[in-house]
Amino acid sequence: MDDTHSAPIDLATIVAGIYEEMKPRLGEGKVADYIPQLARVDPAQFGLAVVTIDGTVHSAGDAAVPFSIQSISKAFTLTLALGKHGESIWRRVGREPSGSAFNSIVQLEAEQGKPRNPFINAGAIAITDLILAGHTPKELIGEILRFLRYLANDDEIVIDRDVAQSEAATGFRNVALANFMRSFGKLDHPAEHVLGVYFHQCAIAMNCIQLARAGLFLANGGTSPLTGHSVVSRQRAKRINALMLTCGHYDGSGDFAYHVGLPGKSGVGGGILAVAPGKASIAVWSPGLNQNGNSLLGSLALEKLASRTGWSVFAG
Amino acid sequence: MDDTHSAPIDLATIVAGIYEEMKPRLGEGKVADYIPQLARVDPAQFGLAVVTIDGTVHSAGDAAVPFSIQSISKAFTLTLALGKHGESIWRRVGREPSGSAFNSIVQLEAEQGKPRNPFINAGAIAITDLILAGHTPKELIGEILRFLRYLANDDEIVIDRDVAQSEAATGFRNVALANFMRSFGKLDHPAEHVLGVYFHQCAIAMNCIQLARAGLFLANGGTSPLTGHSVVSRQRAKRINALMLTCGHYDGSGDFAYHVGLPGKSGVGGGILAVAPGKASIAVWSPGLNQNGNSLLGSLALEKLASRTGWSVFAG
Amino acid sequence: MDDTHSAPIDLATIVAGIYEEMKPRLGEGKVADYIPQLARVDPAQFGLAVVTIDGTVHSAGDAAVPFSIQSISKAFTLTLALGKHGESIWRRVGREPSGSAFNSIVQLEAEQGKPRNPFINAGAIAITDLILAGHTPKELIGEILRFLRYLANDDEIVIDRDVAQSEAATGFRNVALANFMRSFGKLDHPAEHVLGVYFHQCAIAMNCIQLARAGLFLANGGTSPLTGHSVVSRQRAKRINALMLTCGHYDGSGDFAYHVGLPGKSGVGGGILAVAPGKASIAVWSPGLNQNGNSLLGSLALEKLASRTGWSVFAG
Amino acid sequence: MDDTHSAPIDLATIVAGIYEEMKPRLGEGKVADYIPQLARVDPAQFGLAVVTIDGTVHSAGDAAVPFSIQSISKAFTLTLALGKHGESIWRRVGREPSGSAFNSIVQLEAEQGKPRNPFINAGAIAITDLILAGHTPKELIGEILRFLRYLANDDEIVIDRDVAQSEAATGFRNVALANFMRSFGKLDHPAEHVLGVYFHQCAIAMNCIQLARAGLFLANGGTSPLTGHSVVSRQRAKRINALMLTCGHYDGSGDFAYHVGLPGKSGVGGGILAVAPGKASIAVWSPGLNQNGNSLLGSLALEKLASRTGWSVFAG
């Protein structure tokens, strides 16, 4: 019985039930094929993990299978950038939905090299450029990886070097975006350095349980219940959630808000991190994508989850 | 003490306090001047009304002074359209933030006359066209007015005919938008008829208390606590809230979500309707606008209110 | 043997030969169908008239069948506007190719209501607005018609009222363009008045012989050899020719210059006026259009004519 | 006495006279400053060379001072590409004016990586990519240089290595354009290779006399009167001239046609090559640029020259 939440929520049943409903549809959608490492992933996979703010984990399906987090990394590098540079980062990148595809260059020209938001590719590259200050690319790659291990409280998280190298070899559009920003004086470091980091952050491999744990601070006012450490302030956690809701799914952000109603960030690897403020952090993964480049079954599962839990931020 | 909400909320004190803080800044911002009727409004006014879902009203300042609701009417005509035509309206209008100004025509050309969302002018005109089916313009104007009176439970609400006529006499951009959509076959009625209604719905005059009461169903799962009537389903209320959050403030929607964190809809008359799901409906009004065309002091007041009440939908 | 011109040109043979070559292809292309009056024109027609600057006429095919000159009228209203207002008209309209379709509105928004050139619809509407100063629409319609009769030295030329009325009833895109310019303060008269003239100028009906005669002043340094009257200065004739070459065929102007190499102006009725400076004025008509909205057989015939006569302005 | 050409033309007097008229204005305009090597050129220079198709040279001012030909090289690489690949090159690059700045990337996105014409940067890069087939970059650089020496019949022409290296070090926008095209599969070779050639072709240094001689084949039906060799067919010479007229001056092409009326190609080094078909090849150079990035005094000198000689292709 959807759309009601007066009864106590049985998360275990809900998570298991969603997995059962997804099973017959495994393999739907189109797997990202721009690099061989993503193209050869078995599409018939689906994982779901819900970590409530008391640390309880509910998971189902392929929740322990690692996948390439791709653009989900943008939420974490944004967090790092806000920590290092505070609100000054908004001189380099905007906070508005883009109204165009994730890799569009048109907006960049109209706005003189300033990307619309930190979650389109150009914006994420600009963010990585900002946190590269004072580091070598190698050092920064290490720092980002350590940050994710710290957030997830799990040292097993690694970078898939094959994915990183393959992206570097074929990422012409991102090379174009970085050089375009540089031509406007909006990139401080050589494009190769910034992209060296960017391609590695996208190639971090995590499973749903790790990812949901890593995002838990956003559901808990900035503090990770896993470690008790404050990652960001309460205000900043709210703001990152706001950005994920308005901009987290490229040109499908409005649709995701309409159907799911949770802040989230998706990646072309098929993963989505979603946040139910005050309630839980959720990670879902299924490689087949919808027309906006977001996980087809992942989006659907989150819609069901939000409906059955009443966790939509828009519910009265 | 901002950004905490463990203590019980003293709304009366918060509302009064915000008004006191705004007082010294009365008159800031730029009053809309495209029609004389708006240009001659005294800028040094500020009203705030908060109606909680138990029906309690807290207000301050000029909360009983009527103003032109302008684009806030788009939230109510959308509600009507969803009621009449259901999800089929999305064939005519999208659900994504526009990434451009409220009256831009560029996106319309790229997307063959289908507006990005119901809250930019083109989208609202398309929505009005949809609900015009089977009506004369005069009948529909009456229906919209009655709907607002019903929602606010207040028969004193009227249309400012001078504002409507003035908009009709100078609204060349809207005439262009409507005819442009018509050229793509995306408008069923003559542009003059649709705009006749549109200019009148924008010219409805309400005060903050009336407006907050009219929006209360969105904070209460679709049912108005004032009358007990179900206006829309729980799911639909969520969805309208989602659209207001991602698209409610034109090209400043991301910024509003970042700073305020509540679904809202603004108008160039200086009013903003905001919804705290499960908590309250809020209306604020102050004529001076910021660079995005949203009320400067109104936005600021809502940021303070959301922070002090902890009502941001993004708070953990 | 194309592309040589050392031998004396036998125009009669060339004109007759081109007609013979076109005959088997009569009916190719797509007739404009946005108004019934154009849609019902028999596509299997082709007319060609060449009037040399000594006044000699060579014609073939349906050269005496009147057709709707449509956008070809833009060359004549530009001539009128330059005569009335001189180079000051360039404050209202640019002189650069548009890089987009004839009825695009995107460029207008980027350039604040100033059309790119006088030969796209928005630009022609702006030109008509300029020459409307001091006239009623009816008077101006009369003046334009008299100007064409004077140029062609033929009082039989008339306006097809059915075409004009039909365009007025369906020309939503042009209504949008005019109102859009008005919203930027770039139109002095009510859109209805300007468009009233515009739709009538487009509805002027001429045959190839009349049209070629009307354009002869452009081939003869500004003076009509038919009447001996100076229509425009030698410099102005050159400049109108230049504009026709760079902008006369919408987004197919570059292609027309590449293949034909003559200044020209096309219309969706299937007519094209071309000018061989110092040599001749040429009119061709065939209703089937190519993908750029220019007469398919007409363009082809002009390419053959330019090649066989060596009249391309780019020939050494 | 401008705009008449019935009297025999005294070219020597015209050329000398134009130089005298330009002298008081030496230094006007803004020298390109994106690389130090261009920025430090003395702006108070002006050279003019006219080579008639009988080989006679008239020159004045700094006509023997070498300058960086920059984008003028695009006319010559286009000639090479047409020679090697014929009309098949138009699958990779369009023939229409761009309606936007020389280095705009917006059009590239809308048209899936296919540049509008061979004379904007993206188009020239695409052309260089085409002629790179079967060559190393070094070989192709050599071939282009030899081609210009051959056309000018002058082995003194060299490449300015400092300019080439400086462009390579700062040409982020061109790197962006090349990678953007590559991301659409519209570049066959690595961007570094193509740009390696491109930056060198732009860095070729020539003086006005050399440049006018090199372009003479375009004025003479494809055959160089200097050597008697046929460089391209008569038809192809016409077509290259047509492209120079419609697209040769970026977003100022329409204006150049309006005022000068000759096919031409400009470069940010301040040079312009112009062609008077059947008459002469003209090179002018003055480093100060107008707002469209074309030589200010150079454009003015060509307007005077075209007017006094009656060489405008649009003159009757």
Overall average pLDDT of the C298-310 stretch: 98
CB within 8 Å: D95 and C255 = yes
- Interface check for D183 against chain A (CB to CB < 8 A): the answer is yes
CB within 8 Å: B234 and A98 = no
Q: Does domain C11-70+205-309 have CATH number 3.40.710.10?
A: yes
B109 versus C301: which is more confidently predicted? C301
DSSP code per residue over D7-58: SPP-HHHHHHHHHHHHGGGTT-SB---SSHHHHTS-SS--EEEEEETT--EE
Per residue in A246-272, pLDDT (tens digit) is: 999 988 999 999 999 999 999 999 999
Return the bridge partners of B58, or none. Answer: B50
Per residue in B147-159, pLDDT (tens digit) is: 999 999 999 999 9
- pLDDT of the residue at A103: 67
Q: Are D50 and D58 in contact (CB under 8 A)?
A: yes
Using a CB-CB distance cutoff of 8 angstroms, which residues of chain C are in contact with residue D237? 314, 316
A72-202, what's its fold? Beta-lactamase (3.40.710)
D34 catalytic? Reply is: no
- Interface check for B253 against chain A (CB to CB < 8 A): the answer is yes
Of the pLDDT bands very low, low, confident and very high (cuts 50, 70, 90), residue B2 is very low
Average pLDDT across chain C, whole number: 94
Overall average pLDDT of the B107-127 stretch: 92
> Can you tell me the distance from the alpha carbon of D182 to that of D176, in angstroms, rounded to the nearest whole number?
10
Report the SS3 class of residue B302.
helix
Q: Please state the CATH superfamily assignment of the domain spanning residues B11-68+206-309 in this structure.
A: DD-peptidase/beta-lactamase superfamily (3.40.710.10)
> Can you tell me the distance from the alpha carbon of C80 to that of D35, in angstroms, rounded to the nearest whole number?
47
Angle between helices C73-85 and C121-131 (to 10 degrees): 40
Q: Is the predicted pLDDT of residue B196 greater than 80, yes or no?
A: yes
Per residue in C199-219, pLDDT (tens digit) is: 999 999 999 999 999 999 999
Task: Find, among B284, B314, B313, B315, the residue nearest to B300 by Cα.
Answer: B284
**Helix, strand, coil percent content, chain C, rounded in steps of 5:** 50, 15, 40
In chain D, residues under CATH classification 3.40.710.10 are 11-69+206-309, 71-202
B232 versus C98: which is more confidently predicted? B232
- Interface check for A153 against chain D (CB to CB < 8 A): the answer is no
Overall average pLDDT of the A205-219 stretch: 98
Which of the residues B220, B238, B247 would you substitute to probe the A interface, choosing the one with the greatest number of A C-beta atoms within 10 Å?
Answer: B238
- pLDDT of the residue at A34: 84
CB within 8 Å: D313 and C316 = no
- Helices and strands, number each (H, E), in chain B: 14, 10
- Interface check for D100 against chain C (CB to CB < 8 A): the answer is yes
Using a CB-CB distance cutoff of 8 angstroms, which residues of chain D are in contact with residue A193? none
- Interface check for B90 against chain A (CB to CB < 8 A): the answer is no
Q: Is the predicted pLDDT of residue A3 greater than 80, yes or no?
A: no
C1 versus A110: which is more confidently predicted? A110
Overall average pLDDT of the C95-113 stretch: 80
The size of the A-D interface in CB pairs under 8 A is: 54
- pLDDT of the residue at D101: 64
B24 versus A105: which is more confidently predicted? B24
Q: Where are the alpha helices (DSSP H) in A203-293?
A: 208-214, 216-219, 234-247, 253-259
Task: Please tell me which chains touch A, using 3 or more CB pairs under 8 Å as the contact test.
Answer: B, D
Cβ-nearest to A254 among B95, B219, B313: B95
Q: Where are the alpha helices (DSSP H) in B23-61?
A: 36-39
In chain A, residues under CATH classification 3.40.710.10 are 11-70+206-309, 72-202
Contacts of D131 (CB under 8 A, 6+ apart): D77, D80, D81, D84, D85, D140, D143
As annotated, the active-site residues of A are 71, 74, 198, 250, 268
In chain C, residues under CATH classification 3.40.710.10 are 11-70+205-309, 71-202
- pLDDT of the residue at C105: 78
In chain B, residues under CATH classification 3.40.710.10 are 11-68+206-309, 71-202
Overall average pLDDT of the C41-45 stretch: 96
Of the pLDDT bands very low, low, confident and very high (cuts 50, 70, 90), residue B62 is very high
What CATH number should be reported for the domain whose range is D11-69+206-309?
A: 3.40.710.10
As annotated, the active-site residues of C are 71, 74, 198, 250, 268
Share above pLDDT 90 across residues of chain A, in percent, rounded to a whole number: 89
CB within 8 Å: C315 and D239 = no
- pLDDT of the residue at B213: 98
Lowest mean pLDDT among B99-108, B140-149, C15-24: B99-108
CB within 8 Å: D176 and A176 = yes
CB within 8 Å: B175 and C177 = no
Q: Is the predicted pLDDT of residue C270 greater than 70, yes or no?
A: yes
- Interface check for B299 against chain A (CB to CB < 8 A): the answer is no
Overall average pLDDT of the C151-173 stretch: 95
ipTM: 0.95
Q: Is the predicted pLDDT of residue B5 greater than 50, yes or no?
A: no
Task: Find, among D316, D306, D313, D314, the residue nearest to D9 by Cα.
Answer: D306
Cβ-nearest to B246 among A221, A257, A307: A257
Q: Which residue of A has its CA nearest to B115?
A: A99
Average pLDDT across chain B, whole number: 94
Of the pLDDT bands very low, low, confident and very high (cuts 50, 70, 90), residue C7 is low
Overall average pLDDT of the D232-257 stretch: 96
Overall average pLDDT of the A118-141 stretch: 97
Report the SS3 class of residue B268.
coil
Task: Please tell me which chains touch C, using 3 or more CB pairs under 8 Å as the contact test.
Answer: B, D
Cβ-nearest to A235 among B3, B98, B239: B3
Using a CB-CB distance cutoff of 8 angstroms, which residues of chain B are in contact with residue C110? 106
Report the SS3 class of residue A38.
helix
Contacts of B40 (CB under 8 A, 6+ apart): none
Overall average pLDDT of the D196-213 stretch: 98
Per residue in C178-199, pLDDT (tens digit) is: 999 999 999 999 999 999 999 9
Chain C: closest CA distance from residue D105 (Å): 14
> Can you tell me the distance from the alpha carbon of B192 to that of A10, in angstroms, rounded to the nearest whole number?
54
Output the CA–CA distances (angstroms, integers) from residue A308 to A3, A16, A25, A228, C143, in the order listed.
Answer: 6, 12, 20, 29, 72
Q: Which residue of A has its CA nearest to D169?
A: A190
Overall average pLDDT of the D122-139 stretch: 97
φ, ψ (nearest 5 deg) of residue C148: -70, -40
Share above pLDDT 70 across residues of chain D, in percent, rounded to a whole number: 97
Lowest mean pLDDT among A41-50, A110-119, C14-23: A110-119
Overall average pLDDT of the A62-78 stretch: 98
- pLDDT of the residue at D2: 42
| CB interface of A with B, residues 275-294, below 8 Å | 277-278
- pLDDT of the residue at A251: 87
Q: Is the predicted pLDDT of residue D5 greater than 60, yes or no?
A: no
Overall average pLDDT of the B41-68 stretch: 98
Chain B: closest CA distance from residue A233 (Å): 10
Q: Please state the CATH superfamily assignment of the domain spanning residues A11-70+206-309 in this structure.
A: DD-peptidase/beta-lactamase superfamily (3.40.710.10)
What CATH number should be reported for the domain whose range is C71-202?
A: 3.40.710.10
- pLDDT of the residue at D102: 61
- Interface check for A71 against chain D (CB to CB < 8 A): the answer is no
